[in-house]
Amino acid sequence: MKEELEEKIKSMVSGILNITDSFDINEGFIQLGADSMFFAKLQIEIKRQLGKRLPLKVIFSNASVSMLADEILGESL
């Protein structure tokens, strides 16, 4: 289940940042080239694709694919 969620989030991140190469799910969003607009776009995509409404501060605080997946899974328990 976590791997599926990580793949979905990774796909969202790749789409928003136009990343065509593979990247490590533990790599921080900022290191991948994210800016403040990225976080807003990711928040919208998470709501649209996963039905989860996450505050921006939660996304900022969990700023990698792996950390964000852990946060979403922890929230749904």
Q: How many CB atoms are closer than 10 A to CB 48?
A: 10
pLDDT tens, position by position, 6-44: 999 999 999 999 999 999 999 999 999 999 999 999 999
Residue 76 has pLDDT above 70, yes or no: no
- The domain locations on the chain are 2-17+30-75
Give CA–CA dist 14/55, Å, rounded: 21
Between 34 and 76, name the one with better pLDDT.
Answer: 34
**4: exposed, middle or buried (Cβ count in 10 Å: 0-12, 13-18, 19+):** exposed
Q: In the prediction, which pLDDT does 77 show?
A: 43
**Three-state SS at 64:** strand
Record: fold of 2-17+30-75: 1.10.1200
